[in-house]
Amino acid sequence: MGAPISLAALLALVAVLAALFLLPAVRGRGVQVPHASWNRVGLIAALTYIALASFTHHAALARVEEFAALERLDVQAIGALPLPPSLWHWDGLVLTPRGVYEKRMDLSGKPDQVQAAAAPPSPEVFPLEYRFYPDAPENSYIDAARRLPEVQTVLWFSRFPVTRFHKEGSDAIVEIADLRFPHVRPDRPASFTYRVRFGLDGRLRSQGWVRR
């Protein structure tokens, strides 16, 4: 899934879920529990998770806003997205006219990197860590791609779009990726990446979502 958690944590989670689902089947004990009781337990667990996620979302969003203010970013859109299954790992995104800034966060009690970066230098200070995904410089191919109705729909859907441009032989390629969907595997493009291909004469050759 690309979540920033260790293999040991994943194995522990699998063991806990297996116990929750399989232990009630031992000697038919789970069958003796009314369906209404199982439903109540599931509902309570779901509401508890939503409440905790809502609480941690406010904390994560506050850190992203503090990061944007510290860097004096020209904010066009800002958000904090969860990295499940952990409630403590979040992906902070800031859309600016030049591209998208990404800041991964851990809310499990470690020092706040944004606050630490603003403090005087110290051996215990954590550096301000983030990634910047710049948009490709404007050119005629990117302008032509953005005029396409399908691309306009993609840009309407994408909250944190990044435009990329490269050449493949004589073809010009324009790609638009939404950073809400992380790049999990290096050998595959990120989900919801839209590609427009132009020929040497500037005519549209193909367009659509990147599948592989």
Per-residue model confidence as pLDDT tens digits over 138-162: 999 999 999 999 999 999 999 999 9
- Reading phi first (left if > 0) and then psi (alpha if -120 to 50, else beta), residue 61 is in alpha
* Residue 107 pLDDT: 83
175-184: Cβ within 8 A, 24+ apart: 175/210, 176/145, 176/151, 179/93, 179/100, 179/102, 179/133, 180/79, 180/81, 180/93, 182/2, 182/83, 182/91, 183/2, 184/1, 184/2
**Coil, helix or strand at residue 139:** coil
Q: Is residue 102 very low, low, confident or very high in pLDDT (cuts 50, 70, 90)?
A: very high
Residue of 111, 110, 118 lying closest to 70 (CA atoms): 118
How far apart CA 69 and CA 71 sit, in angstroms, is 5
How large is the average pLDDT for residues 55-73? 90
| Selected residue with higher pLDDT from 193 and 36 | 193
The encoded tokens of residue 104 equal 């991964």
Cβ partners under 8 Å of residue 184, min gap 6: 1, 2, 190
* Residue 110 pLDDT: 55
Cβ partners under 8 Å of residue 153, min gap 6: none
| Alpha helices, H only, 71-129 | 113-118
Check pLDDT > 80 for residue 21: no
* Residue 24 pLDDT: 67
* Residue 72 pLDDT: 92
* Residue 126 pLDDT: 44
How far apart CA 103 and CA 94 sit, in angstroms, is 9
How far apart CA 100 and CA 131 sit, in angstroms, is 8
Q: What is the pTM (predicted TM-score) of this model?
A: 0.72
Find where tokens 């910047």 sit.
132
Lowest mean pLDDT among 19-23, 92-96, 197-201: 19-23
Q: If you average pLDDT over every residue of the chain, what do you get?
A: 81
Percent of the chain with pLDDT over 90: 44
